[in-house]
Structure 1
Amino acid sequence: MCIYNSRYLCSTRALTNETPLRDAEENLGMHLQDAGYNPGLIGYNDYVRDPATLPHGHPQKTTPCYDNVLPGFDWILFHDEYTSPQYLQWLREKGYPEGILDRIRISLPDVPPEGPGEHLPLCFPAHYKAEDSEARFVTGIATDWISRRKGCGWFLSLNYIKPHSPRICPSPYHDMYAPRRMPEANRRPGELDKPHPYYQLMAAEKQLENDSHLRETRANYYGMISELDACLGTLFEFLKTSGEWDHTLIVFSSDHGDYLGDHYLLDKAHFFDETMHVPLIVRDPSPEADGTRGTQLEGLVESIDIAPTLLDFLGRPKPDRFQGSSLLPAVRQAVPWQGKESIHFEADFRTRSTVPPGLHPDECLFWVIRDHQYKYVQFASPAMPPLLFDLQKDPGEFDNQADNPGNSAIVADYCQQMLRWRMRFEDQRMEHWAANHRRR
């Protein structure tokens, strides 16, 4: 959600998909409306409405539902995970059998009747052809929508599910990459077998211990990325042939990474870099960006920086409640840029089935501060000591240095940094209002 509202999670407390978002109107979509745009959204954005704003008897007042769209956005197509009613109807019209046209079965690979054998099911292709995949369908919806706005200002939030689970690829992407050629996992035998309570939580979630299954999962992930890359190529070619390319800003990113067996984990969560480090590509069509075009800028940035960047491109000031910073000065080399001194991350793990007994739900929380030298993890529970990783000496994050007496000053310093950050980004709307309207 911070991609849209440019706010740290500590200021919204919307840390899970099921957590309602207060003040939802203060998001990128509403500010784009103020700029004269009618922003479109294809896919999903996992937004739960604040129950306090809903009338009595509304079903979402007592049952969390994140199948909503943020205020300010025109919901062109709701396409959650790998399907939507429109997509299933599209396949039906193409002659696909009714037996696979439901939310569950369309997301399952076409495993032969005798079963997958020694392989994971994800090694087998989807039931549909590549040109009929959900990613191609969503891309077509996007190009159709843009074509109707040719020559006019437009904004589109295009949200693909890939390379997210369920892990499935159509041919030829399902076996495009050989499992034997996949990179080794970032892990050590026994690395989760530590007395720290949070490591016990992670140890209870160990996955992909089998090396062949790990490699198959990685090959599948690479295939999903290549399929998505082909769809983006189709989209970009459309922008070029339609005359939209030369004045369209494109920001490509993701909301989280995937362990793929690193640290014996799968999917997202926890505090390792694999879940925090995501792609961020900014394609600025302006001539001022020619100096950095095609290059990789080294520096720390955060997801909250995306919305200010988009508004900056339109010449709009950063809204008062946005906590990120525009990246256009870096892209255009307007000022010397080194990135942020540190980045921040937090997670609430009260809903995980492996939570150690005895923890109060409100103690199931950790904050992370990361810079180029260290990563510091602070837990809310006194039963969970802090963690400290020296990223220069230990980039794989295997050796906790927080319990080393020689590092006590470093731990104290990062704890202070975290406290100052938390104080700085409290909700200070009323203080700002009072300061701006105080009698002089």
Structure 2
Amino acid sequence: MNSRLIILWSLLLSAIHLAAERPNVVLLLSDDHNYRALGCSGNDVIRTPNLDRLAADGVYFDRCFTPNPICTPSRACLYTGQDSWSNGVTFNGKVIKADSPLLPRVLAEAGYETCFIGKWHNDGKPWTRGYTTGGRCWAGGKFDHFELALTPFGGGPKSRRTAEDYSSTVFTDDAVKYLTGKPRRPFCMVLAYTVGHDVFQAPPGYEDKYSPDEVLAPPNFMAKPPFKQFNPKIRDETVLPFPRTAKDVREATAEYYAMFEHLDAQVGRILTALKESGLDDETLIIFASVKGMSMGSHGIIGKQTMYEEGIRTPLIIRHPNLDSHAARCSDLVSTMDILPTICEFTGVKIPANVEGQSLLGLYTGNGSPRKQLFFSYHDPRRFTVTRAIRTPRYKLIDHLVTGERQLFDLTADPHELTNLAGQPDSRLVEARLSRELRHWREGPEGK
């Protein structure tokens, strides 16, 4: 064997060894997930034992937020690690900018097999956006948890077939098949569920799991929102009659909780598959939601709001080897942080234009907390334009069409019931947050 072959063989062995040392990644995503709809959040009604165990084994980040609480933009922020105004997806139907990083592409270029299963709600298709393999996907067509139109990975519209079971079951079947089929390592599997997007209807066998009598209306339930810039004709808001009643909200929430108890059982199947396949000790597991859901808070059902229920999302991270500093972290974090977190955990270079920050430091207790986060909701079709800034204590919301402003002290008023905007005692705080928000809006992207 000549020296050149020896060098090439050595490089190949080094690459194989390096790949073997890199942890696999399983990213599980729920949809429209109210941050209170988890047992580990302190909710003693809903039953989510598998997610609670995952949180106990890792870190539950109880103040995670999406920068933009609507469908396509929220997913683009998560997959790119960038704000909507940087990645170009400020509203549904927008295209991710060509120079924005994409989680699957970043990992695939670093030698990872990238697998996608579930709901795809961005431009292109998973197989044109960096994923190298996958299972069945919702990539257009009928959207119904019982009769979801599913496209096989790499297929076209003519290959769509109606799902033969409830959406969460079907997607988990494909994920278990992938994990137990000896996937090429290292791998990153993204499983994006459609639950808890409406319609709120319990899966088979879960119809009577929760009685409306045991499910309370949210602590900030209202019949109507306390501001003018609200459109009750948005599809999400037509799910329940308007104005709202506590009875309607409790009935919907009972179904909603059943959907998530069933999803938790599917997460249990994923965890079992990892363990039985010998992958558990070398796989980073992240459970997150792309956005929140109001479920009657402030008279709103959907997620198009700057209240906590719209922008705040669950986030659980469990690393196979690192010890967590604490089981719960209450620092401000963002779904934009998921991409750089995965990069740092896997040893992949974080793209320079990523705006999120790795959560490795907070996971181990050595991180620096954020001072603030910014949010936007921009619906040009309905003339709804909202911007917000949140600090650990305060939140300022500007409704730019109607000129309404809301200011909340989240320490004293966690349910956002008392608007302090315009009050003399809050003048300095309001001025400071208004200045910070204006500075952010006047940035290079013109927010």
TM-score, normalising length: structure 2: 0.72
Q: Say yes or no: does 1:71 pair with 2:129.
A: yes
Question: Alpha-carbon deviations, 1:89-121, whole Å to 9, x = none?
Answer: xxxxxxxxxxxx986xx8xxxxxxxxxxxxxxx
Task: Select 1:241's aligned residue among 259, 269, 276.
Answer: 276
Q: Say yes or no: does 1:368 pair with 2:403.
A: no
User: Partners of 2:123 and 2:354 in 1: how far apart?
Assistant: 20
User: Partners of 2:204 and 2:274 in 1: how far apart?
Assistant: 26
Task: Select 1:135's aligned residue among 168, 174, 180.
Answer: 168
User: What is the CA-CA distance between 1:188 and the residue it aligns to?
Assistant: 5.7
Say which structure is richer in strand. Answer: 2
Question: Alpha-carbon deviations, 1:169-224, whole Å to 9, x = none?
Answer: 223212101110112323365763x5x532x5469957472332211111111100
1:390 is aligned to: 409
Task: Select 2:362's aligned residue among 330, 335, 341.
Answer: 330
Question: Alpha-carbon deviations, 1:46-80, whole Å to 9, x = none?
Answer: 1125xxxxxxxxxxxxxxxxx66562113522225
Larger mean CA deviation between 171-180 and 245-254 belongs to 171-180
1:430 is aligned to: none
TM-score, normalising length: structure 1: 0.73
- In the TM superposition, 1:151-166 aligns within 5 A as 152-166=185-199
Q: Say yes or no: does 1:212 pair with 2:247.
A: yes
Question: Alpha-carbon deviations, 1:225-253, whole Å to 9, x = none?
Answer: 10000011011101001100100001100
Shift of the 313–29 alpha-carbon distance from structure 1 to 2, 3 Å rule, reads same
Q: Say yes or no: does 1:347 pair with 2:401.
A: no
2:212 is aligned to: 179
Native 8 Å contact 2:291 2:313 kept in 1: yes
Native 8 Å contact 1:369 1:377 kept in 2: yes
Q: Say yes or no: does 1:419 pair with 2:438.
A: yes
User: Partners of 1:239 and 1:14 in 2: how far apart?
Assistant: 34
2:149 is aligned to: 84
SS in 2 for 1:78: strand
Cα-Cα RMSD: 2.8
SS in 2 for 1:156: strand
1:438 is aligned to: none
- In the TM superposition, 1:302-313 aligns within 5 A as 302-313=334-345
Q: Say yes or no: does 1:197 pair with 2:228.
A: yes
Shift of the 415–222 alpha-carbon distance from structure 1 to 2, 3 Å rule, reads same
Letter aligned with residue 79 of structure 1: W
2:79 is aligned to: 4
User: Partners of 1:374 and 1:184 in 2: how far apart?
Assistant: 25
User: What is the CA-CA distance between 1:36 and the residue it aligns to?
Assistant: 0.5
Question: Alpha-carbon deviations, 1:244-288, whole Å to 9, x = none?
Answer: 0100001100111111111121121111101111100001001x3
Q: Say yes or no: does 1:319 pair with 2:319.
A: no
SS in 1 for 2:286: strand
Shift of the 314–385 alpha-carbon distance from structure 1 to 2, 3 Å rule, reads same
Question: Alpha-carbon deviations, 1:369-407, whole Å to 9, x = none?
Answer: 1112211112444x4133211222322212222222443
User: Partners of 1:316 and 1:180 in 2: how far apart?
Assistant: 50
User: What is the CA-CA distance between 1:152 and the residue it aligns to?
Assistant: 2.0
Native 8 Å contact 2:232 2:242 kept in 1: no
Shift of the 208–309 alpha-carbon distance from structure 1 to 2, 3 Å rule, reads farther
- In the TM superposition, 1:36-115 aligns within 5 A as 36-48=111-123, 71-74=129-132, 76=134, 77-79=136-138, 81=143, 82=145, 83-85=148-150
Shift of the 141–210 alpha-carbon distance from structure 1 to 2, 3 Å rule, reads same
User: Partners of 2:359 and 2:442 in 1: how far apart?
Assistant: 24
2:257 is aligned to: 222
User: What is the CA-CA distance between 1:162 and the residue it aligns to?
Assistant: 0.9
Q: Say yes or no: does 1:289 pair with 2:299.
A: no
Shift of the 70–324 alpha-carbon distance from structure 1 to 2, 3 Å rule, reads farther
User: Partners of 1:19 and 1:312 in 2: how far apart?
Assistant: 29
User: Partners of 2:311 and 2:249 in 1: how far apart?
Assistant: 20
SS in 1 for 2:113: coil
SS in 1 for 2:187: coil
Letter aligned with residue 215 of structure 1: R
Native 8 Å contact 2:291 2:303 kept in 1: yes
User: What is the CA-CA distance between 1:410 and the residue it aligns to?
Assistant: 2.0
Choose between structure 1 and 2 for higher RCO, CA contacts under 8 A separated by at least 6 residues: 2
Letter aligned with residue 300 of structure 1: L
User: Partners of 1:241 and 1:400 in 2: how far apart?
Assistant: 52
Give the unaligned 5+ runs of structure 2.
1-75, 153-159
Between structure 1 and structure 2, the one with the greater Rg is 1
User: Partners of 2:90 and 2:82 in 1: how far apart?
Assistant: 12
2:6 is aligned to: none
2:106 is aligned to: 31
Native 8 Å contact 1:45 1:70 kept in 2: no
Shift of the 188–47 alpha-carbon distance from structure 1 to 2, 3 Å rule, reads closer
